[in-house]
Amino acid sequence: MRRKKDRPRKTASEKPSLTRRDFLKGAGVTVSGGLLGKSIVADAAQPESKNEIVGPGAVPVTLRVNGKVHKLNIEPRVTLLDALRDRLDITGSKKVCDRATCGACTMLMDRKPVYGCTVLAIEAEGHEITTIEGLAADDKLTPVMAAFVNHDAQQCGFCTPGFVMACTAFLERNPNPSLEDIEKGLGGNLCRCGTYWGVRHAVLQAAREMKGGSHGNV
Amino acid sequence: MATCKYDWPEAGGRELVGKRIDRIDGPEKASGRAKYTYDTHRPGLLIAKLLTCPYAHAKIKSIDISPAQSLPGVKAVLVIQDAGSEIQWAGDEIVAVAAVNEDIAEDARRRIKVEYEQLPHLVREEDLERAQANGRTKPAGEETVGDPNKAFQDPDVVISKGFYGIPVITHCCLEAHGNVAEWTDAKTLKTWSSTQNVSGLPGQIGAGLRRQKVNVDDSNIETVCQYIGGGFGSKVFSRPWGIVAAQLAKMAGKPVKLMLDRDAELEIAGARPSAFAKISVAAKKDGTLAAWDSESWGTGGVGPAGHPPLPYVLQPPNTHWKHTMVAANIGPSRAWRAPNHPQGCLLTMGALDDLAAKLEMDPVEFLMKNVHLAPKLLTKIYSEELQKAAELAEWKKNWHPRGDKTPGHTKRGMGVSLHTWGGRGHTSTCNVIVRPDGSVTVRLGSQDLGTGTRTVIAISVAETFGLPVEAVKVEIGDSKYPPDGASGGSTTVGGVSASTRRGAVDALGELFAAVAPSLGVPPDQLEAHLGLIRVKGDASKSLTWKQACSKLGVKTIQTTGRNPGPCHLNDSGVGGVQIADVSVDTETGQVKVNRMVAAQDCGLIIDLKTAESQVYGALIMGICYSLFEEKIMDETLGQMLNPNMEFYKLAGIGDIGELVVHMMTGPGYDERGVIGLGEPPVISPGAAISNAVANAIGVRVPTLPLTPDRVLAALDKGGLA
Ligand code: FES
Ligand code: FES
């Protein structure tokens, strides 16, 4: 396993190496999975300059999550999602498909949405990670969360944190979305209970409310 | 009309019941704070993995777990099925390992060596003759009513014959099946389980453990489930992994988390049985149904799986049906939202739609003509719903006879279907507690699958006490609470709304008795309204809820409410009608849902908002199984080819079109009492969408899902292409 030595902070405009969102954009959800699988492998296999070889044993990894610094000793193969859920008990991001198909693990890396199940924890070093726990303080709700409650865009709620993260990031880039934008932009999140009707309305409401306002703490 | 003391308030007197009220746990879920079984952490928690069998039918020759045991970090290895066992489906559990983290558990699993002797298997069942030749079939029922042979020979009837099918699909819960098990002392077990059956689980786990020679009393087992990430019928029973986690925890002396991997979730954690049928159906020239004949088959794994009710809902005077069960080596079936109904509905409503086309009749008129063949209770409901759904779908404007004749390769079509379900409230017990400071708690061993159970409980109690919903603290999801039924078959809302209503009415009676002296009237002259306890007909004499409760002194009221019980609070038997409006691209074979309309009855609605969500969700789940879902089995390998979410396809947010939901409420509906809603609206989408596609392209696509290859194959055989 290689990791970058100097690990510069990426700017929000730069593309994190293992982000799936850009691939998903525009791809029909029912075909996205297979295509993505390939792209990830190809991407991850690219050797980078200035790399050091680490692993396979545990290595120290420092993660900055929701503004807090966490020091971990984990094997390089541990995903960001597993590191957060199993080691840090930050469980808002869910593990469902574990391979970049469903979006339940959506979190933000330098404000851009990523699937935490397909980013390695060591890859996340030096980046600012935001999970759903980092969007709203205590018992407060962001406009997106409040809109999800208002439009009952959740049933069992297992896909909901991923959807809320995806919607939050989506609205930041598309403050004025059309229905078509929503259908394309949120095609990377799957719900089994069938809450998409509520989600559509929730996104439209949140967009209205956020116009000119703050986008939560993101 | 004499009223019964627990009756739901009359329409004019309802403050909360029937309104659109936000689900009370919405903020917990939307903010990611809700903790599911999968999110449970315990000090020293071990992670367990299952090694499953790769073959559809095999005998275990030998197992060597020592390479796994010797791996540092591995704390327990349990052989679930030993050498000599016969395995009947790929994915069956053989060995479980528990280790300090998931990666080590995964490594340990890979080191286990199992030798198998492969045996002949059968995993595909569409070809009945092949299954018969393999000795894999068993009669599963046959019935004749009237004289179908004679009816089919009547020269005045029109007969339609066809083949229809609906494959095995899985539950694909987003939270996989599984649990965390912890022995808090040598005799006491606590489990955090992803379950639809909080009260029932300790008994199942206890019995399973005792079979494995682990001594434990059911009374020493506590099961907790505050949030569950989907069940849909598949999480009523604990299944092996519930027992295995407790065994591993006992062996390791540490808590163990065992959640199924996604592939196992799709392979073994639940299958909806398939159904295929050759059907003949006859009607008089005016459209009145005369006769039905069906030969159907299907599989739900190697065990029995019930059979679809045929013909579905509408019973012609002369019928014959015969069903055959195919024993296929696939993961076992479990109840899937409305067991057997979506299958019965697709087969029947597809066949009737083809007959209507042959008669050159509008299918809505055809169904109207035949609703008298439905159970008596439902005929009026269906007539009203057909009318309402047709109006909302602009049926008259949009429907055309079979085959869209407009130029171009996008063909539009409309299809209709109807369905029914029981949904009587289950056995339920609750405690309603009112304290002198005015706080209210209601407690029961129920669970909220996302259907809104917590919310309907809060509404039922708050309505009775004249309080806002937020004033009621709902405690569910723990087997230590008074026992409540499993959430299956749309039985929860009827059960918990009735038990909590009765418990709350009794508690209010005790409160009235305590405050009556200070208001100077007998208790039966008091009423609770908008936060006040007041004298009926004299608004000047009242106490706030808090003042009233303070009259309890040091006494806390605790009542027990039950269902079933006195007064008519719930009922059984609902009807629903759905209309699908689709477009089909005859060049690519792609089907797109433009609009789905649902008119649904469920008696008295407690919370309109979450009730509508059930129907929206069911329409979407219906679109999933109509267009995308199938457990694809490979006959050579004996394995499922798509045990992952990129190839086991679900609809995305862009696949659902416009959804229109109309709940039938008011006179004729409300007075029936509360009836369950989880199952019924998921029954019709398959038939409605299949009928709409046939209407668009002029030919029936016989089996679901309506994938491009199937649509193109049907077009090749006929239709408009
Ligand atoms: S769990 Fe990461 S995309 Fe599904
Ligand atoms: S709300 Fe259950 S999976 Fe989306």
- List, for residues B579-593, the tens digit of each pLDDT value: 999 999 999 999 999
B98 within some domain: yes
Is residue B67 a part of any domain in this protein? yes
Instruction: Map tokens 């930050």 to a residue.
Output: A90
- Which chain A positions have a beta carbon within 8 Å of B28's beta carbon? 157
Q: Tell me what percent of the residues of chain B surpass a pLDDT of 70.
A: 99
Measure Cα distances from B612 to A156, B110, B601, B678 in Å. Answer: 15, 47, 11, 11
More confident residue, B433 or A35: B433
Q: Is the dihedral of CA B648, B652, B658, B659 positive or negative?
A: positive
pLDDT for B238: 85
Task: Please report the pLDDT score of residue A50 as a whole number.
Answer: 57
Handedness of CA B472, B477, B478, B482 (dihedral sign): positive
Residue B73: CB atoms within 10 Å: 14
In the predicted structure, residue A110 carries a pLDDT above the cut 50: yes
- What mean pLDDT is predicted for residues B489-512? 98
Specify whether B51 is located in the same domain as B16: no
- Rounded-to-integer distance, Cα B37 and Cα B19, Å: 32
H runs (alpha helix) in B285-375: 341-358, 363-370
Nearest chain A alpha carbon to B101: A86
Give the per-residue pLDDT at A7.
Answer: 44
* B687 lies in the same domain as B617: yes
B268 occurs within a structural domain? no
Residues with CB under 6 A from ligand 2: A 154-160, 191-193, 195; B 174, 230, 450
Mean pLDDT within A16-38: 35
Residues B41 and B94 in one domain: yes
Residues B55 and B186 both lie in one domain: yes
Better-scored residue on pLDDT, B353 or A214 = B353
Q: Residue A183 is nearest to which of B32, B613, B654, comparing CB atoms?
A: B654
Range of the domain at B586: 360-423+571-717
Locus of tokens 């949009």? B398
- Whose CA is closest to B275, among B326, B313, B321, B234? B326
Domain CATH for B396 = 3.30.365.10
Residues B589 and B646 in one domain: yes
Is B165 within a domain? no
C-alpha triplet B640, B635, B121: angle, nearest 5°: 100
In a domain, B624, yes or no: yes
Tokens (6 digits) for B672: 């029936």
Side-chain-side CA neighbours of B407 within 13 Å: the count stands at: 0
pLDDT tens, residue by residue, B530-557:
999 999 999 899 999 999 999 999 999 9
B341 within a domain of the structure (yes/no): no
Establish if B154 belongs to a structural domain.
Answer: no
Are the beta carbons of B570 and B496 closer than 8 angstroms?
Answer: no
Percent of chain A with pLDDT strictly greater than 90: 69
Q: How many residues does chain B have?
A: 721
| Residue appearing with tokens 């598949």 | B234
- Residue listed under structure tokens 């003949």: B280
Distance CA A18, CA A26 (A): 18
Whether the pLDDT of residue B317 is over 70: the answer is yes
> B377 and B478: one domain?
no
Provide the shortest C-alpha distance from residue B478 to chain A (in Å).
Answer: 17
Q: Whose CA is nearest to atom 4 of ligand 2?
A: A191
In a domain, B133, yes or no: no
Q: How many whole angstroms from B164 Cα to the centroid of ligand 1? A: 35
Is residue B451 predicted with pLDDT exceeding 90?
yes
Place of tokens 């299907």: B298
Task: List the domain boundaries for chain A.
Answer: 59-134, 143-210
What's chain B's Rg over C-alpha atoms?
A: 28
User: Is the same domain home to B216 and B98?
Assistant: yes
Task: Please report residues of B whose CB lies closer than 8 A to that of A149.
Answer: 22-23, 26-27, 30
In this predicted structure, what is the pLDDT of residue B658? 98
Is the separation of the CB atoms in B298 and B125 below 8 Å?
A: yes
The answer on B79 and B105 residing in a single domain is yes
Q: How many domains does chain B have?
A: 3
B555 and B436 in a common domain:
yes
- Stretch A7-35: mean pLDDT: 37
Residues B547 and B463 in one domain: yes
Please report the atom of ligand 2 found closest to the CA of residue A163: 4
Say if residue B621 is in the same domain as residue B517.
no
CA distance B196 to B446: 8
ipTM confidence: 0.97
User: In sequence order, what are the beta bridge partners of B292?
Assistant: B281, B319
**Residue A150 confidence (pLDDT):** 98
What CATH number has the domain bearing residue B91?
Answer: 3.90.1170.50
Last residue of a domain, one of B239, B259, B279: B259
Say whether pLDDT at A44 is over 90.
no
Averaged pLDDT of chain B: 97
pLDDT in tens, B609-619: 999 999 999 99
Question: Could you give the CA distance from residue B477 to residue B454 in angstroms, rounded to a whole number?
Answer: 10
Predicted confidence at residue A56, as pLDDT, reads 87
Instruction: Report the C-alpha gap between B3 and B567 in whole angstroms.
Output: 9
Among residues B232, B259, B286, the one where a domain terminates is B259
Q: Which pLDDT does position A2 carry in this prediction?
A: 58
pLDDT per residue over A47-80, tens digit each? 444 567 888 899 999 999 999 999 999 999 999 9
Confidence of residue A1 (pLDDT cuts 50, 70, 90): low
Which is higher by pLDDT, B501 or A10? Answer: B501
Query: Pick from B303, B316, B293: which is nearest to B142 by CA?
Result: B293
A118 Cβ under 8 Å from any chain B Cβ: no
Nearest to B573 by CA among B681, B420, B371, B425: B420
For residue B620, pLDDT beyond 70: yes
Measured CA to CA in angstroms, residue B701 lies from A129, B126, B197 at distances of 48, 15, 39
Q: Do residues B668 and B708 both lie within one domain?
A: yes
Per-residue confidence (pLDDT) for residue A139, from 0 to 100 = 82
Residue A197 CA: which ligand is closest?
2
How high is the pLDDT of residue A121? Answer: 98
Q: Average pLDDT for residues B495-502, to the nearest whole number?
A: 98
> For B42-59, how does the pLDDT look when each residue is reduced to its tens digit (9 = 90+)?
999 999 999 999 999 999
The pTM of the whole model exceeds 0.90: yes
CA dist., res. B680 & res. B682, Å (int)? 6
CA distance A135 to B383: 50
Fold that domain A143-210 belongs to in CATH: DNA polymerase; domain 1 (1.10.150)
Indicate the top mutation candidate among B38, B174, B265, B656 to test ligand 2's pocket, ranked by most ligand atoms within 8 A of CB.
B174
- In 10 A of CB B150, how many CB atoms? 10
pLDDT surpassing 60 at residue A5: no
CA B537 to each of CA A72, B175, B541: distance values in angstroms, whole numbers, following the listed order: 69, 53, 9
pLDDT for the residue numbered A38: 33
CA atoms B140, B143, B149, B155: torsion sign? negative
CATH for A59-134, options being 3.40.50.970, 1.10.1740.10, 3.30.70.580, 3.10.20.30:
3.10.20.30
Q: What is the mean pLDDT of residues B188-200?
A: 98
CB-closest option in A29, A154, A158 to B30: A154
- Flag whether pLDDT at B605 surpasses 60: yes
3-class SS shares of chain A: helix, strand, coil, % to 5: 40, 15, 45
What is the reported pLDDT for B305?
85
